[in-house]
Amino acid sequence: MAKGLIPKISIIMPFCSNDYRFLRPNIKQLLKFTKSIFIVYSDHFWNGQPEDNKIIERTINENPKAKFINVPYVNKNPPIPKFICRMIPKRFLFCPVYGPRYFEGLVRWKGYLEAKKSNPDYYLFLDVDEIVDGRRLIKWLKKGLDKELNALIFSCYDYIRSPKYQAVEWNQKGVLVKSHDIDKKAFFTYRIRRRLFEVSPSPKKKGIVGLDGKPLIHHYSLAREYENLIKKFEITSVKPEVNPKDEVKRRINNWRNRVEKTKPFIDFSS
């Protein structure tokens, strides 16, 4: 690929109605550098609760430039008792996944299979609440992307309770993987996107920032009102043994004195 040209990138994102507010502004930014956007949804949330199909239908109608992929819900029981699964440290990526974690993997895998048909140069694995600064990313793609790298993880800004409260410490979200045949097993494990990075051949790099040295992704997972945050942890059941209200309080308290007020990149209230 000639220097200065933008590579063909296919975006793969899971979607549920609880993240409705994030999708349109996300797609708006993505369309600045790609037309290959794959949104994967289901008739149920990851924990098996029925989806809000009216919001799903509305979302599809509002975003005609994205391709929506429906994945019927599957509830896979653990091959070993759940209490044993919980005793296995999550750093062991061969630990079996079940329930919500299994379905998350299935959704991302199905999205990858569809995106593969578009023959991209790269796959960008995002969540809907991870919004790329499209204008700055284009500049980085033209002048900053090391095309020798096979996988990259981006630095990002985190936001707490509101788009105007930015964490002072950077996080890492969003995985860019050079096109190759990805092993299906990588999708059915804990921390899927980190695993996709790890199974990619070297060389690869973490902590990717823009040409100005600042993060290219804005992460709004915790930038929600209290009730929406509780629902987020209920429907994803990332930690099924933990009460969602307790998990919300823990995460908010963890960031309480580590944020600063900033001008919002995107204001979801408008």
Q: Is the peptide bond before 203 cis (omega within 30 degrees of 0)?
A: yes
pLDDT per residue as tens digits for the range 213-262: 999 999 999 999 999 999 998 888 656 667 888 888 888 888 878 899 99
Longest dimension (CA), the chain: 53
pLDDT per residue as tens digits for the range 71-97: 999 887 655 555 555 555 554 444 557
For the ranges 22-26, 151-155, 171-175, 188-192, which has the lowest average pLDDT?
188-192
The whole-angstrom separation of Cα 193 and Cα 162 is 25
Task: Give first-to-last CA distance, the chain, whole Å.
Answer: 40
- Domains of the chain with CATH codes: 9-261 (3.90.550)
- Specify the pLDDT at position 248: 87
**Contact assessment for residue 6 and residue 142, using Cβ atoms and an 8 Å cutoff:** yes
- Specify the pLDDT at position 47: 87
pLDDT at 270 over 80: no
pLDDT per residue as tens digits for the range 4-63: 689 999 999 999 999 999 999 999 999 999 999 999 999 999 888 999 999 999 999 999
CB atoms within 10 A of CB 201: 9
- Specify the pLDDT at position 113: 98
Provide DSSP, 208-258: E--TTSS-SEEEEEE-S-HHHHHHHHHHH-SSTTS-HHHHHHHHHHHHTTS
The H or E element containing residue 23 is helix 20-30
The whole-angstrom separation of Cα 249 and Cα 226 is 9
- Specify the pLDDT at position 269: 61
pLDDT at 268 over 80: no
Task: Please tell me the total number of residues recorded for the chain in this structure.
Answer: 270
User: Locate tokens 């969602």: which residue?
Assistant: 244
User: What predicted TM-score, i.e. pTM, was given to this entire model?
Assistant: 0.91
Nearest by Cα to 152 from 211, 193, 190: 193
pLDDT per residue as tens digits for the range 193-209: 999 999 999 999 999 99
The whole-angstrom separation of Cα 196 and Cα 203 is 14
